[in-house]
Amino acid sequence: MIVVDRIVSTQSFTCRTKKTRIRILSDLSFSYFQNIGRIVVYSRTQHNTNNIKMKFSLTTLAVATLFTGANAFSSFTPSSQMQSKNGSKLNMSLEKYADELKDTANKMVRPGFGLLACDESTGTVGARLESIGLENIEENRQKWRQLLFTTPDLGDYISGAILYEETLYQDSTEGTPFVDMLNKAGIIPGIKVDSGLKALTGGLPNETWCSGLDGLYEKCCAHYEQGARFAKWRTAVRIQDGGPSDLAVKEAAWGLARYARICQEAGLVPIVEPEILIDGDHDIDTTAKIQEHVVTTTYKYLQENGVLLEGSLLKPSMTVAGVDCPNKPSPAEVAKMTVQTLQRAIPPAMPGVTFLSGGISEEDSSIYLNEINKIDRLGPWALTFSFSRAMQSSCLKIWNGKEENVKAAQDQLLARARANGAASKGEYEAGSEPSMEESLYVANYVY
């Protein structure tokens, strides 16, 4: 290992000779490290695998520069723009998929359309089925999701469906792949790729981190081959006394950024979902402050990872008070604070926001979304929906696991899709579509 006494550049590069490989590394943030002034160079010969530590003079550094080109230290170049020995750019997959990623993202948030989130894990969807007296077996999960995907005219309001892995690779009872069924309806198939939340060691009580990065690229490639064109990764941040901790925020943001870049390398549009949980008694101002910090940090890391923002989407919570807050904000207040938070936190290059419902009732979710879209805003992004419970709850209860109720259940699903499609344009009239207006909040909810 060779240590340089002062920093000269923020460039990382590799040079090779027949016997020696030299790599100079430094942090991307030059201003932070300029007073520390260290560059680490790893040197290993073919004949001696022992690391060598020595003083490295600027003269030697200049010689090393000759191996990498005259401009090696002139200015910082992101790794995604570096070129290989033969002149071709590295990370070609982003170039390969860039147009497709942007096209898919824009189709997903075109006016009047939103997403149906039906990516609940086997355990979560099983709990819902058991609530209507059905056993949690694959056959029943298949019937339930087939009911959703075969709803007539659903593609008039739903641009994409987020699927669980089982569903992406599953066929209908007639043997038609669900992917083909969705594509025929004009609905883009997507896939949940995270492996769920785990306790955050070193964090505050009940804080979590989202797992699933190991092997993610290979999984995304397989999902793309199966027909998925976008992905979703949900992490959750909890507002509590003294929290969220900086550790929890940074872990959430960095995980989302790594996931997003990996997805784009495999051709999938990443939906970035930093959910602010509504558990607690905090007021709406507290939510706005925390959410602005979380989303801003997330976009900082997305850009550091070279994510193509034009080929990505954001799935945040609406900016609401905690479920136990004694002072409930009005829909107009929720809309104002949500738009304010987004305008302060997200760049205009990102094409669309697909809100999660997060335990808000079906009708309130539509009303809030409608009020949000009635506000004049600076951001050019679409503001639409990606609802699960707020799309499916009344549909599930009407179906009740009975074949004779399928049409009525599908009519209910279509009604909520129609309501949310109108709300995404600021055109929904409260109460004009049927819904069960009960709260959908579940404490410590997991997918």
Residue with tokens 């929904």: 428
* Residue 184 is a catalytic residue: no
Report the amino acid identity of residue 446.
V
Q: Which of 315, 336, 362, 371 is catalytic?
A: 315
* Residue 273 is a catalytic residue: yes
Burial class of residue 324 in the structure, from the number of CB atoms within 10 Å of its CB (0-12 exposed, 13-18 middle, 19+ buried)? exposed
Segment holding 128, helix H or strand E: helix 122-131
- Locate the DSSP E strands across 265-412: 269-276, 313-314, 352-355, 382-387
Please state the φ and ψ torsions of residue 267, each to the nearest 5 degrees.
95, 10
DSSP letters for 177-209: BHHHHHHHTT-EEEEE----EEE-TTS-TT-EE
Of 371, 418, 430, 437, nearest to 113 by C-alpha is 418
Residues 6+ apart with CB under 8 A from 343: 377, 378, 379
Residue with tokens 């009047």: 112
Q: Which of 273, 275, 292, 371 is catalytic?
A: 273
Evaluate whether 3 touches 56 at the Cβ level (below 8 Å). Answer: yes
Residues assigned a catalytic role? 273, 315
